Structure 1
Amino acid sequence: MSTIARALALLDHFSPDHPRLGLTEMMRLSGRDKATVHRHLTALVQAGYLEQAPDTRAYRLGPALTRLADMRRHTVPEIEMVGALIDDLSRVVGELVHVNRLHGFDLIHLCHAEHHNHPVRVSFDATERPPVLATASGRAFLAFSAPEVVAAALADPGTWDRKDAAPDGVAVCETLATIAAHGFAYNRDTLRLGVSSVAIPVFDADGTPVATCSIAYPTGRGGADFRDRLARHLMAFAPKMTVAMGGVVPARVQKIWAAQGNSTKMADQA
């Protein structure tokens, strides 16, 4: 990892629960020595990516990030195009729909939409970075990724819920193969009790997964029939989603989505 990348990686340690971090905390979180962390923090402050709170001198995110985020939102057309699509999808299904880009094995929120008239809804935190193996989105991404990507994910402790034991690689690969055959992944009360979701991959111009689109809903809303209805809607929108992000759906995946869209029942995943 380059010096610039190592410095910028420090920004990932900030969160709604930890909006301010001191030098000592940053050393602990990054696992780097004091001199290196201080040098990187100083460079980030000079560039405006960080600033120091006047009362505690702790570091917090700086104004340059706001400017860049606004610039991206106004100049990157995929966000607008994808936003319009998921807004339509959310109106059709009446549930929360969100799109994440993959950065390494981090699911980074791109946009979301929520249209419903239900008294019970799923709470959503756009800053959350759940472990990919514990989410429908993460498994949908891995199911259509190259074997070496899956192997790297299994070797990375950050990809599974640390409250659990390390995943069984054989079992995970079997589940991913089933997801690839179905064209979508789903969770039921896996990451959070009372929350279920269905998800599909979004592909780049080479047909490689680079993002995911998912529908999250309260588990009590319905069982397998309800899940399958949402999955069919999701797969019907999936090709448009990939095109909006400048990608191409592989022919084999397109065939699976078309077949599942015409199916009334879908097999269970492990």
Structure 2
Amino acid sequence: MRTVEKALRLLDFFTDKRVEIGLSDLARLSGIDKATVLRMLADMAECGFVEQNPETRRWRLGAGVLRLARLREHAQPVTRVLTPILEKLAQETGETAHASLLSGRDLANIGVIEPARANRVYIEPGLVLPLHATASGIAVTAFLRPEQQERVLARTLTAVTGMTPTSRAALEQVVRRTRERGYAVADQTFEAEVYGIAVPIFGPDGYAAGALAVAIPASRASDEHERKIIAALEPAAQSATTGLGGRPSPEHRISS
């Protein structure tokens, strides 16, 4: 892995639940030795991407990340496009609606709207969603460019739960089924007791650029509820594709 890529991937370990991380923890999480991690942190600190808390000596994201996020939002107003779509989707389904977009090799969750009910699925904003273990990831993988899809299938597939597909053959079967019906389902493959349903968002080239999904407690999963969610997801994903400047794939059709 290239040095720049290694450095940038350190940023993925920061979340809203882990806003500060110590050097030793970053080394452990990344699998990179402490001296190299410290050197990369120092380089990123010079650019404002990270900073060190002078009291705790732990590291956190810097103002440079916020500046780039603002530039990204100005160039492509993703939040403005997706938020009303997610709000409507959560209202229609009564479940947690979320959207994700591809960024390099990762699928990042960029927006979440939760329903007004106690028993609901919580999804962390900014969470990186494994392409092989989530409904969103599988929906995207099924409609990637062939060479991109091959790279996903060729990866080492890590088990997140006992239900995660971990062989190429198993993932190929799931991807093939997803292409046939136009949407992906994931039954506790990423988190126990969570059932996900997702439809791809397409980019300007007609290939998957992200996904729109609904996550529900597995105890509420049923054929009837799934049909209701898919009926709401299909037009929502079409609106997201159009709003973000994409075009639908002629190969994508929703079928039950």
> TM-score, normalized by length of structure 1?
0.82
Deviation by residue 1:105-158 (Cα, 9 ceiling, x = unmatched): 422122122344x3421122114334221111111111112343333223333x
Residue aligning to 1:169: 168
Residue aligning to 1:95: 95
SS at match of 1:79: helix
Query: Please, what is the CA RMSD of the aligned residues?
Result: 2.6
Q: Distance in 2 between matches of 1:23 and 1:65?
A: 19
Q: Distance in 1 between matches of 2:154 and 2:111?
A: 29
Q: Is the alpha carbon distance of 1:141 and 1:160 closer, same or farther for their aligned partners in structure 2, counting shifts above 3 Å? A: farther
Please tell me the residue identity of whatever aligns with 1:110. Answer: I
Deviation by residue 1:20-48 (Cα, 9 ceiling, x = unmatched): 33444444444445554333211211222
Q: Distance in 2 between matches of 1:18 and 1:71?
A: 24
Residue aligning to 1:7: 7
Residue aligning to 2:63: 63
SS at match of 1:217: strand
What are the within-5 Å matches in structure 2 for residues 9-158 of structure 1? 9-16=9-16, 18-32=18-32, 36-73=36-73, 76-116=76-116, 118-157=117-156
The offset of 1:249, in angstroms, is 0.5
Per mean C-alpha deviation after superposition, the further-off stretch among 136-145 and 78-87 is 78-87
CA contact (8 A) 1:131 1:160 kept: no
Q: Distance in 1 between matches of 2:218 and 2:27?
A: 40
Structure 1: any 5+ residue segments left out of the alignment?
A: 261-265
Q: Is the alpha carbon distance of 1:56 and 1:78 closer, same or farther for their aligned partners in structure 2, counting shifts above 3 Å? A: closer
The offset of 1:12, in angstroms, is 1.8
Q: Distance in 2 between matches of 1:223 and 1:11?
A: 38
Structure having the higher Rg: 1
Q: Is the alpha carbon distance of 1:210 and 1:29 closer, same or farther for their aligned partners in structure 2, counting shifts above 3 Å? A: same
Q: Distance in 1 between matches of 2:221 and 2:33?
A: 51
> TM-score, normalized by length of structure 2?
0.86
Q: Is the alpha carbon distance of 1:221 and 1:176 closer, same or farther for their aligned partners in structure 2, counting shifts above 3 Å? A: same
Q: Is the alpha carbon distance of 1:16 and 1:86 closer, same or farther for their aligned partners in structure 2, counting shifts above 3 Å? A: closer
Q: Distance in 2 between matches of 1:16 and 1:84?
A: 23
Residue aligning to 1:198: 197
Q: Distance in 2 between matches of 1:8 and 1:56?
A: 23
Deviation by residue 1:81-108 (Cα, 9 ceiling, x = unmatched): 1222222222222221110012244221
The offset of 1:166, in angstroms, is 7.2
Please tell me the residue identity of whatever aligns with 1:221. Answer: R
SS at match of 1:179: helix
Residue aligning to 1:263: none
SS at match of 2:132: helix
- Report which of the two has the higher share of helix: 1
Q: Is the alpha carbon distance of 1:145 and 1:68 closer, same or farther for their aligned partners in structure 2, counting shifts above 3 Å? A: closer
Please tell me the residue identity of whatever aligns with 1:83. Answer: T
Q: Distance in 2 between matches of 1:122 and 1:76?
A: 28
CA contact (8 A) 2:100 2:107 kept: yes
Question: Percent of pairs identical after alignment?
Answer: 31
CA contact (8 A) 2:94 2:115 kept: yes
Deviation by residue 1:235-270 (Cα, 9 ceiling, x = unmatched): 1222211111111101221xx23xx3xxxxx2xxxx
SS at match of 2:101: strand
Structure 2: any 5+ residue segments left out of the alignment?
A: none
Residue aligning to 2:158: 160
